[in-house]
Structure formats: structure tokens, C-alpha cells
Structure 1
Amino acid sequence: MTNPLSTPRIAHVCKPVYNHALMAALCAATLQGSLLLMPGAAQALELDYQHQYNEKDRDHTDKVMITQALDNGLAFSFQFVASPAEKSNGQPGQPFEHMTKDSLKGKVKYSHKLTKHLKFKPKFTYSQGKDKKSYKPALKFPYELGYGFSATPGYYYKVTTYKDGKETKRDNVWSLGGKYKTEHMSIGVARKEIYSNQIAFDGKKRNYSNKLYIDYKLTHSFTPYVEVADVYVDKNTDERQARYRVGFKYKF
């Protein structure tokens, strides 16, 4: 039987996507298998799919993340990020067309209850992109205020290096989030303040973002969500744009 990937008409499109998707699947399967062999591993596997659209850039991004949580508070994630290839005229590609890999991300996080109301949540993220790589240690301290309300201050330090020899970028980011949660729904807001060693927004080394998100637990396993954020367009101007994200989480 003829291999469909060998057909000249579609080989240049399908083969890269096939290889990247296969690599993502194999890595996720390996991660899951190794974790299940660890003592105390919980059968808590979660799939998170997300589609992102930027209003003025008009670009689309799709993210698929698999997370395995353990009984002891540790969790391991693997994320595959892809976007449509740019058109020959330089315009953004159409959603889900000629998808190419943007980056692969690995995450390790831990949750520990310090008091009845306060948690300690460190996280480390490593990302490998087309022309750059980054690592990001982070800390969050969720605090339950009562009556379904909570507040989460946080901080992360992100270092990004580039293959073309550009100066290494270093970002110090402070965040503050607030959330209201019921049995089936949660609604939250968050703000980030970004301080960089390079120009980040409006010709300055400071940037910010605000977001609003809502999720709704339809079943024990399935939770769709939507997010709207205010983000920058170009680092040298004061132009802003809306960033939309829709997705779902599914627990196995």
C-alpha cells in the first residue's frame, strides 16, 4: 500500500506535521509510562487543548498539553505548540492549515499546603522553539479568602537565548490574580507587570498584560474555558490588542 506521506502533492505539508506530532505523542507516552512506574503515582492524567487568536496580528496558535499529577503534589507536563505557516505574501496563515511546530515545552510543578488557606506552588518550564530556547522558574502563593474567593500573587524569572546570537533576554515578571469559584464555574482576573533588560513595549523596558477568564465544569471530566487578554502589538509602539483563547480540559 502506498504511503500517503510519499505522495509529492502533499508530502511537503503532511510530513513535517506528521513527524512533529509523532514526536510529541512519543514523548508524552514515554513521560506517562515513566511516571506510572514511580511510587505513589496517581492515575490523574489531564489533556488541555487551546486555540489562540490575536486581534490585530490576526495569527492563530494551537496548544496541546498533557499533564500527569502525582499523589505527593508533583505534576509533570508536556506541551506541543503549533501555528499555520505564513502565506507567500507574508500574511498570517489560516487556522489549522499547513500547521508547523512553534515550540515544545516541558513543565514540572509542585503544590504544597502551607496553612489551611495558603498554598506554595513552585514551577519550572523549559521551552525549545524554532530559533530560541528559554527556561522559567516561577512561584505562586494562592490564598483562599473565603466564600469562594481567592487571590494569587506570583513571580517568575524568564531567560531566553537565541540561535542567531542576539542578546539574551531576561524578564522579571510579577503577577496578581483573583478568582471566584462555585461548584461548577470559576471566573478570574489577573495582571502581569514585566520588567526586561530589553525594549519590551512602547520603546521602554517595561510591559504589562491583563486578562479575564471563565471556565465551566460540564462533567466530572470535561471543563471548557475562554480567556480574553489585553497584550502588546509591537515593542516599539504603545499599540495594544485583544488576545482570545478558547479551549477545554479533559481528565482521564
Structure 2
Amino acid sequence: MSSFATADGWPHGFIDYRHEYLDKDAKHYDRVMMGNFFSNGIGVLGELRYATKEGGERHAWDPSSFNNNGMGLSIVYKFKPLDNKKFWLEPMFWLDSSKWWSTYELGMTVGYDFSREWRLSGRYRYDMDKATSDSIAYGNTDRNNERYDVWLKYNPEGTDLRFTFNGVYYDNDYITWDNGKKDYALDLKVGYKLGSWEPYFRLGDRRASKTTDERQLRYRVGLTYSW
């Protein structure tokens, strides 16, 4: 789940479309996420995901050949427990469903707003993957995974540019990268605010293989509408 809940003041809502391409996997992914956050600190989010059909033409983007890649629903609660209103906490619960897994995610985000321009936040998340019948047929079993995120956001004063750096560390219950169970990912997002709209581009680094240390670039472009 992306950190949309921490992106703007509350209350607010958004709808976001994102397209993704993996350089070496040569696969395309599309996702639509929407959410609404209320003045009492509660937020509700949902998403739908689609991906290139297995066996489809490499590099080709053809929405008519996409497969459902899962869906998710989340609830978050943002609050400021101290007199220092720059410090905030955000517990979250995410329920995710796909052909292969039913996943329950529990997490806590800790954030500090240094100014209107700078924000730093970090999140710990514990994921419980329950294998579906299709997944069990492939030899998979239930698994538990841990994920650590850090976000650094910078909105330059006097401009409509938005910069977000995200670093992720994974400690999984299965072979993930380089024949090990640990992995990492890096992502830089550049957005431009146009009233209620924000087009953006994201460039990321992530694994390309479970059995070697090979990495690949991840390209994402998207458009967010907020209210």
C-alpha cells in the first residue's frame, strides 16, 4: 500500500491511476487506487490491479490481454499523540486478495513534519500470506513476511514540484532475491501539482531474479486527482 494517507491534509480524498513497466521482466502492470480520509483521522482505501497475461508478447502493452492481478482494501487511523503537532502516528490494516494469496497486513507509520516543505516517515509492516488452492497446487504454503519503509518528501517552496524518495527493506519467509530471504527496493517519485491534479513519474530499482543478485529498473507513470 502506498503512503497516500500521509500525503495531504485531512479531510481529503483521491483517485490515482498508475502504469508500471519492469525493464528485464518486460511486463506491464496497471493499478487504480482510491481513498477518502475524514476529519476524525480515519481513512479508507481500495485498489484494483491488472498485469500482462502470462505468455503474452514481451514488452507489449495491450490492456485487452491483461489479467486481474488482485485487489485490496485498507483502513488507517492518523493521530498526533503529543503536544508537538509535527509528530504523528498512523496504524493501518490492509486486506489483499489475488489468485495466489489472501494477505492480511498490519502496520504502523511514524512521521515527523519538519516544515511545510520537508516530511520524514517510516513504517513497519507485518504481512500474513495465506495460500489459495491455486497457490497450494504449485507447492506454496502459508508464509509471514516483514517490511520496513522509509519516505522522505520534499515540496520546494514557491514551486508546484513534489519529490518523494522511498526505500524498502524486506525480510521474508521465502526465497526472494539472490537465493536469500532478504531484499530491498528504492524508488524516486517526481510529481507536479496542477490544481487538483498531479501527474508524476517514478523510477525504481528492484530485484530481477530470486536466485541471483540481478537488479532491474522499474518505471512508473501516473495521475492523481485529489479533492
* TM bucket, shorter chain: 0.7 to 0.9
Asked if 1:173 corresponds to 2:147, the answer is yes
Q: Which residue of 1 aligns with 2:222?
A: 247
Aligned counterparts, 1:84-103, within 5 A: 84-87=52-55, 91=58, 94-103=61-70
- Pick from 171, 180, 189 the counterpart of residue 195 of structure 1: 171
- Structure number with the bigger relative contact order (C-alpha 8 A, sep ≥ 6) is 2
TM-score relative to the length of structure 1: 0.76
Q: Describe the superposition over 1:192-246 as per-residue Cα deviations: whole angstroms up to 9, x where unpaired.
A: 1111122111011111111111111111x11111111110011111010011111
Aligned counterparts, 1:231-242, within 5 A: 231-242=206-217
Q: Describe the superposition over 1:169-194 as per-residue Cα deviations: whole angstroms up to 9, x where unpaired.
A: 21111222212113522212121111
**Runs of 4+ in structure 1 displaced over 3 angstroms?**
42-45, 90-93
Contact 1:210 1:230 in 2 (8 A): yes
- CA distance 1:85–1:92, shift in 2 (3 Å): farther
Q: How many residue pairs end up in the alignment?
A: 209
- Pick from 118, 141, 146 the counterpart of residue 149 of structure 1: 118
Contact 1:200 1:235 in 2 (8 A): yes
Q: Which residue of 2 aligns with 1:23?
A: none
| Aligned counterparts of 1:147 and 1:49: Cα–Cα separation in 2 | 26
TM-score relative to the length of structure 2: 0.84
| Aligned counterparts of 2:32 and 2:123: Cα–Cα separation in 1 | 24
Aligned-pair identity (%): 23
Q: Which residue of 1 aligns with 2:99?
A: 130
Question: Unpaired segments of 5 or more residues in structure 1?
Answer: 1-41
- CA distance 1:191–1:43, shift in 2 (3 Å): closer
- Higher-helix-fraction structure: 1
- Pick from 51, 65, 76 the counterpart of residue 83 of structure 1: 51
Kindly name which structure, 1 or 2, has the bigger radius of gyration based on alpha carbons. 1
Question: Unpaired segments of 5 or more residues in structure 2?
Answer: 1-9
